[in-house]
């Protein structure tokens, strides 16, 4: 096969659509090169080499070495340089790049090919010893850190010591001879740590770096990241080897990163940061504070450091023209990396830019009006899960603000929580249900877990494109970055915030809208959705086939659901209505009653409360369908837990507390999830179904009178496995319908259906459908019962299963389409075989999960139902899956 693809000089063997083979970075470097943009020549070693490497005991295909030599020669020919040559030496960068950008992969190594001799050649050629030594020391640091495993802090310590002794603050103040001295110290450090000298042979350096890239594919960090993001290990990474261009060649050189539109707001304005006389990651590492690229951004920020536009107008103009070209070419907002070497612009990377949900919406909608995209394409441009971000609270503008300090508004939303300093502490707090803000000098890929666990992230170093900022935006977490007035003392667990002391555990609030850090907790406001949101949702609703309903019981949830566009309630869990205040006592009376009369007496007290709940719900839903599930959970969930609770019920019933205690004990079950629950309760105690049915019907009649809209309740019987179970409960419901019709004289239309949440129900769907007008797949229980895994106990081993690759995803979060999915397919098919117009839906967590929603579209369900806050996500996901 062909393992290496070259690019440069206005042409390329690869192209953008070869991302799977070349990785995202390599494919786009090739594309930019073909478009005629100035890209330093280079080559990409394919992802297939990575796969081969792991299939063959960490070795390479036989012909790879020769292909690399040839590709290096091509770079040499294009640049007039020789790799390892003592005159005009060719230096390269070695850059990893998988199909999707992936933290945890090897960091880029720059200036590879330098050694004690080539560095002198470089110095001579550039007429600048300082530049050459600066490049060499950077190479030793990077190579030793990422390839040889010598921690970069050790080098930084040597550097810091030197600066301190010589009263210097910036690296740029260090002169050539001083760098030379530091290089000797760096090499000595490596030799001491590794018991062999720093490799001088450029070929050894190159193959060392290549091996490190492929090796990094399987590091625990990379494996964890892939697991969290459902990236298959079989994809592999590519490696890019590319001629170096130098942004550290003096005052007429620079390096920077940019977005073609504002990644935070979506505004159609070039946005980026750069540093003069700098290289590589200097901009994002937060070592110096970067400058704005455009004059507009500089003015808006009130910064006095000149913009690139002012400093290097020609390079800026050229760069700006490439931004426009790349946007039009990719029809998407681009995230770019560039370097200016002695006035000459070089493009080093382009990719679709990460953006906030707000920006994603605005860009998608703007691009339709700019004629770059069609409506249906625009729908596909917003990731449904990202809409979650828009639903984040912001700080009440009327709230008092005790501002501690201000940093950059790196990711929108606001959050309050207790200060923690480590990711481990954040995860611990999350597990205990405490809200925290992760406060760090800066973050690194190791902090991803902690960032996930925290409500928000605060850093004191780094810009808008720093790790913390980029990752937080991706997660939809509020983030304030680069709050430079914070002094964090990790060791003593304290922060000095512009003179005020804070300690671990103190509550702070961060405002991702303006970068403020506030003391204490602050009142928040729920977000209002922008016009762009409505526009895109409107487009989505036009193409969507499935309906979207919400799981809701309380009037408040129902209102939120309707505001978010829910087209009905797919699951009203009646037992949730029983857990409130005085009702619990009545419910307990019902459960603990010895006799049917006792139960009926308690149920009679519950009836008006339950009826009132339904009246409210029907009124809010105003004619939209409402599926009400009859009592489902095991009775023991309602049992009194304390002596006090027991005494309370005993008093209400006029019963002996001791006898009551015995009765409660008798109701205990070994395995309640598979015990006396669902329709089994309704079979044992038909009076429960009767009361609930009566409440529903009477409420329907009453609500219809008020709203003028007909109410057609859908009554759902849970946990059916046998048709006869459903038939029995059905009888009670129908009898009640007859009674209520007679009593009220009202027309009554309703439907009776069942949850399909037991494998037997799916298998016997043809038979059960004779008695059911609708099925709702209760995939939480169906997942439990199909796997035989209890959801409440799964945490202790599901993590291990995912780590060992037995399960890719938590099946309670994203539907197991193969296994549980097959039962759903069977249920759908057999249900329809009996009743072609049977209404089919899904309720449970999966109804709000975009991947699972795609599956629901595929099997042809009529609707999905999810929690109210996920309704917009489901609407968009349903639209995308219909396209």
**Among all residues, which ones are annotated catalytic?**
467, 843
- Token code pair at residue 482: 């680069």
Instruction: Write down the number of H helices and E strands in the chain.
Output: 34, 34
C-alpha closest to that of 710 among 590, 624, 641, 612: 624
- Helix, strand, coil percentages, rounded to 5, for the chain: 50, 20, 35
- Token code pair at residue 252: 């007429």
CA distances from 93 to 83, 222, 241, 446 (A): 12, 21, 6, 24
The CB-of-99 to ligand ADP minimum distance in angstroms stands at 13
Part in contact with ligand ADP (CB under 6 A); list of ranges 57-65, 236-244, 511-519, 714-722? 236-244
The CB-of-691 to Mg ion minimum distance in angstroms stands at 21
State the greatest distance between any 2 C-alpha atoms of the chain, in Å, as a whole number: 103
Residue nearest to Mg ion (CB): 781
Give the residue with the Cβ less far from ligand ADP, 335 or 698. 335
Q: Is 366 in the site for ligand ADP (CB under 6 A)?
A: no
The entry of ligand ADP, Mg ion, none near residue 757 (CB within 5 to 8 angstroms by kind) is Mg ion
Pair type for strands 109-112 and 92-98? antiparallel
- Token code pair at residue 493: 């667990």
Give the residue with the Cβ less far from ligand ADP, 335 or 567. 335
CA distances from 525 to 230, 391, 510, 565, 790 (A): 34, 10, 14, 20, 37
Q: Is 879 in the site for ligand ADP (CB under 6 A)?
A: no
Binding residues for substrate: 573, 629, 757, 778-781
Question: First-to-last CA distance in the chain?
Answer: 36
CB distance 753 to 713 below 8 Å: no
Q: 429-434: long-range contacts at Cβ-Cβ below 8 A with a sequence spacing of 24 or more?
A: 429/453, 430/454
* Binding-site member from 146, 244, 628, 768 for ligand ADP (CB under 6 A): 244
Q: Is 337 in the site for ligand ADP (CB under 6 A)?
A: yes
The entry of ligand ADP, Mg ion, none near residue 40 (CB within 5 to 8 angstroms by kind) is ligand ADP
Q: Is 242 in the site for ligand ADP (CB under 6 A)?
A: yes
The CB-of-98 to ligand ADP minimum distance in angstroms stands at 10
The entry of ligand ADP, Mg ion, none near residue 307 (CB within 5 to 8 angstroms by kind) is none
**Phi/psi at 577 (nearest 5 deg)?**
-75, -15
CB distance 823 to 781 below 8 Å: no
Part in contact with ligand ADP (CB under 6 A); list of ranges 16-24, 239-247, 302-310, 517-525? 239-247
Q: Is 135 in the site for ligand ADP (CB under 6 A)?
A: no
- Token code pair at residue 26: 């390599």
Query: How far, in Å, CA of 651 to CA of 881, rounded?
Result: 56
| 446 Cα distance to chain centroid | 16
C-alpha closest to that of 558 among 628, 610, 618: 618
Give the residue with the Cβ less far from Mg ion, 338 or 685. 338
The entry of Mg ion, ligand ADP, none near residue 335 (CB within 5 to 8 angstroms by kind) is none
Q: Is 348 in the site for ligand ADP (CB under 6 A)?
A: yes
Q: What is the dihedral of CA 371, 376, 377, 378, to 10 degrees?
A: 70
The CB-of-282 to ligand ADP minimum distance in angstroms stands at 8
Bridge partners (DSSP) of residue 94 are 109, 241
For 193-236, give the DSSP string.
Answer: HHSSPPP--HHHHHHHHHHHHHHHTTSHHHHHHHHHTT--GGG-
Pair type for strands 516-519 and 507-511? antiparallel
Give the residue with the Cβ less far from Mg ion, 267 or 281. 281
Give the residue with the Cβ less far from Mg ion, 341 or 781. 781
The CB-of-282 to Mg ion minimum distance in angstroms stands at 13
Binding residues: 573, 629, 757, 778-781
The entry of Mg ion, ligand ADP, none near residue 852 (CB within 5 to 8 angstroms by kind) is none
Binding residues for Mg(2+): 757, 781
* Binding-site member from 82, 237, 277, 339 for ligand ADP (CB under 6 A): 339
Give the residue with the Cβ less far from Mg ion, 31 or 757. 757
Helix (H/G/I), strand (E/B), else coil: 626? strand
E strand or H helix at 406, and its extent? strand 403-406
The entry of Mg ion, ligand ADP, none near residue 627 (CB within 5 to 8 angstroms by kind) is none
CB distance 475 to 451 below 8 Å: yes
**Interface with ligand ADP in residues 94-113 (CB under 6 A):** 95, 108, 110
* Binding-site member from 44, 216, 264, 349 for ligand ADP (CB under 6 A): 349
The CB-of-58 to ligand ADP minimum distance in angstroms stands at 23
Query: How far, in Å, CA of 877 to CA of 379, rounded?
Result: 9
Helix (H/G/I), strand (E/B), else coil: 547? strand
CB distance 416 to 435 below 8 Å: yes
CA distances from 436 to 119, 407, 558 (A): 49, 18, 30
Q: Is 264 in the site for ligand ADP (CB under 6 A)?
A: no
Give the residue with the Cβ less far from ligand ADP, 348 or 765. 348
Query: How far, in Å, CA of 20 to CA of 49, rounded?
Result: 12
The CB-of-96 to ligand ADP minimum distance in angstroms stands at 7
Part in contact with ligand ADP (CB under 6 A); list of ranges 237-245, 450-458, 648-656, 694-702? 237-245
Query: How far, in Å, CA of 782 to CA of 811, rounded?
Result: 11
Bridge partners (DSSP) of residue 95 are 240
The CB-of-244 to ligand ADP minimum distance in angstroms stands at 4
Q: Taking the CB of residue 88, how many other CB atoms lie within 10 A of it? A: 15
Q: Is 93 in the site for ligand ADP (CB under 6 A)?
A: yes
The entry of ligand ADP, Mg ion, none near residue 244 (CB within 5 to 8 angstroms by kind) is ligand ADP
Judged by the rule CB under 5 A, the positions of this chain that interact with Mg ion are 337, 349, 757, 778, 781
Residue 7 makes CB contacts below 8 A (sequence gap 6+) with: 13, 14, 29, 30, 33, 34, 39, 41, 42, 43, 44
* Binding-site member from 213, 245, 571, 681 for ligand ADP (CB under 6 A): 245
The CB-of-402 to Mg ion minimum distance in angstroms stands at 39
Q: Is 865 in the site for ligand ADP (CB under 6 A)?
A: no
Q: Is 33 in the site for ligand ADP (CB under 6 A)?
A: no
Number of residues in contact with ligand ADP, rule: CB under 6 A?
16
CA distances from 124 to 119, 133, 202 (A): 9, 11, 19
CB distance 352 to 43 below 8 Å: no
Binding mask 271-290 for ligand ADP (x = CB under 6 A): ---------xx---------
Give the residue with the Cβ less far from Mg ion, 725 or 757. 757
| 561 Cα distance to chain centroid | 23
Part in contact with ligand ADP (CB under 6 A); list of ranges 241-249, 419-427, 453-461, 669-677? 241-249
The entry of ligand ADP, Mg ion, none near residue 778 (CB within 5 to 8 angstroms by kind) is Mg ion
Pair type for strands 271-276 and 254-259? antiparallel
The entry of ligand ADP, Mg ion, none near residue 280 (CB within 5 to 8 angstroms by kind) is ligand ADP
Q: Is 255 in the site for ligand ADP (CB under 6 A)?
A: yes
Give the residue with the Cβ less far from ligand ADP, 40 or 778. 40
The CB-of-320 to ligand ADP minimum distance in angstroms stands at 19
Binding mask 110-129 for ligand ADP (x = CB under 6 A): x-------------------
Give the residue with the Cβ less far from Mg ion, 318 or 335. 335
The CB-of-83 to ligand ADP minimum distance in angstroms stands at 13
Give the residue with the Cβ less far from ligand ADP, 255 or 785. 255
Binding residues vs ligand ADP (CB under 6 A): 40, 93, 95, 108, 110, 242-245, 255, 280-281, 337, 339, 348-349
């Amino acid at each position: 096969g062909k393992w290496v693809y070259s690019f440069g000089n206005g042409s390329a063997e690869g192209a953008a659509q070869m991302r799977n083979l070349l990785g995202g970075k390599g494919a786009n470097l090739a594309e930019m090169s073909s478009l005629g943009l100035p890209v330093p020549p280079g080559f990409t070693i394919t992802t297939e080499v990575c796969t081969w490497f792991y299939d063959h005991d960490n070795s390479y295909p036989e012909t790879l070495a020769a292909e690399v030599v040839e590709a290096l020669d091509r770079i040499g020919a294009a640049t007039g340089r020789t790799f390892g040559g003592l005159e005009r030496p060719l230096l390269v960068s070695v850059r990893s790049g998988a199909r999707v950008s992936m933290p945890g992969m090897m960091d880029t190594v720059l200036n590879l090919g330098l050694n004690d001799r080539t560095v002198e050649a470089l110095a001579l050629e550039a007429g600048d010893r300082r530049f050459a030594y600066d490049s060499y020391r950077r190479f030793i640091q990077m190579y030793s850190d990422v390839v040889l495993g010598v921690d970069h802090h050790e080098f930084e310590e040597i550097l810091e010591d030197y600066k301190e002794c010589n009263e210097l603050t910036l690296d740029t103040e260090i002169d050539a001879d001083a760098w030379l001295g530091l290089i000797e110290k760096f090499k000595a450090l490596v030799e001491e740590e590794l018991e062999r000298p720093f490799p001088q042979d450029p070929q050894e350096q190159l193959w060392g770096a290549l091996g490190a890239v492929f090796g990094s594919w399987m590091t625990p960090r990379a494996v964890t990241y892939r697991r969290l993001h459902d990236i298959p290990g079989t994809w592999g990474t590519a490696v890019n080897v590319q001629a170096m261009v130098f942004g550290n060649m003096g005052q007429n050189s620079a390096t920077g990163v940019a977005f073609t539109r504002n990644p935070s707001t979506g505004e159609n304005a070039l946005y980026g940061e750069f540093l003069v006389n700098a290289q590589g990651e200097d901009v994002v590492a937060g070592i110096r504070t970067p400058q704005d690229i455009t004059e507009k951004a500089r003015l808006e920020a009130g910064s006095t450091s000149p913009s690139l536009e002012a400093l290097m107008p020609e390079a800026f103009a050229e760069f700006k023209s490439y931004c426009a070209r790349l946007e039009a070419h990719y029809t998407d907002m681009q995230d770019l990396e560039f370097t200016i070497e002695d006035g000459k612009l070089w493009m080093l990377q382009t990719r679709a830019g990460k953006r906030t949900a707000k920006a994603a919406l605005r860009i998608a909608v703007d691009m339709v009006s700019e004629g770059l995209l069609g409506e249906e394409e625009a729908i596909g441009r917003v990731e449904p899960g990202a809409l979650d971000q828009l639903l984040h609270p912001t700080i009440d503008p009327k709230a008092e603000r005790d501002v501690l300090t201000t940093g950059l508004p790196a990711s929108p939303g606001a959050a309050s929580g207790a200060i923690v300093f480590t990711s481990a502490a954040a995860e611990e707090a999350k597990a205990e249900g405490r809200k925290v803000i992760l406060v760090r000098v800066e973050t690194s890929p190791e902090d991803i877990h902690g960032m996930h666990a925290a409500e928000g992230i605060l850093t004191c170093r780094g810009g808008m494109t720093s790790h913390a900022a980029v990752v937080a935006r991706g997660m939809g977490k509020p983030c304030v970055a680069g709050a430079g007035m914070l002094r964090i003392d990790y060791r003593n667990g304290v922060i000095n915030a512009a003179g005020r002391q804070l300690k671990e555990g103190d509550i702070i609030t961060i405002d991702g809208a303006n970068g403020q850090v506030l003391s204490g907790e602050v009142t928040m406001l729920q977000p209002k959705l922008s016009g762009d949101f409505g526009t895109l949702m409107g487009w989505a609703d036009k193409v969507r086939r499935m309906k979207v309903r919400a799981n809701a019981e309380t009037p408040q949830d129902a209102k939120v659901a309707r505001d978010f566009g829910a087209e009905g309630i797919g699951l009203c869990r009646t037992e949730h209505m029983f857990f409130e205040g005085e009702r619990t006592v009545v419910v307990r009376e019902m459960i603990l009653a010895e006799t049917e009369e006792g139960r009926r007496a308690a149920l009679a007290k519950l009836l008006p409360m339950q009826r009132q709940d339904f009246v409210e719900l029907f009124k809010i839903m105003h004619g939209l369908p409402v599926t009400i599930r009859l009592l489902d959970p095991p009775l023991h969930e309602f049992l009194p837990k304390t002596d006090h609770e027991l005494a309370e019920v005993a008093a209400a019933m006029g019963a002996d507390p001791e006898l009551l205690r015995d009765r409660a004990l008798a109701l205990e079950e070994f395995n309640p999830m598979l015990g006396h629950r669902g329709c089994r309760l309704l079979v044992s105690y038909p009076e429960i179904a009767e009361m609930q049915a009566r409440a529903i019907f009477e409420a329907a009649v009453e609500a219809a009178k008020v709203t003028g809209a007909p109410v057609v309740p859908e009554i759902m019987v849970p946990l059916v496995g046998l048709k006869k179970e459903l038939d029995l409960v059905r009888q009670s419901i129908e009898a009640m319908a007859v009674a209520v019709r007679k009593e009220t004289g009202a027309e009554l239309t309703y439907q009776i259906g069942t949850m399909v949440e037991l494998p037997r129900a799916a298998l016997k769907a043809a038979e059960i459908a004779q008695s059911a007008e609708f099925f709702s797949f209760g995939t939480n229980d169906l997942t439990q019962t199909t796997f035989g895994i209890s959801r409440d106990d799964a945490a202790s081993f599901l993590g291990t299963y995912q780590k060992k690759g037995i399960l890719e995803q938590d099946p309670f979060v994203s539907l197991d389409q193969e296994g549980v999915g097959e039962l759903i397919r069977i249920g759908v098919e057999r249900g329809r075989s009996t009743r072609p117009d049977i209404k089919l839906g899904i309720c449970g967590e999966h109804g709000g999960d975009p991947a699972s929603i795609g599956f629901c579209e595929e099997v042809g369900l009529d609707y999905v139902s999810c929690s109210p806050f996920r309704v917009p996500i489901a609407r968009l996901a349903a639209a995308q899956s219909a396209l």
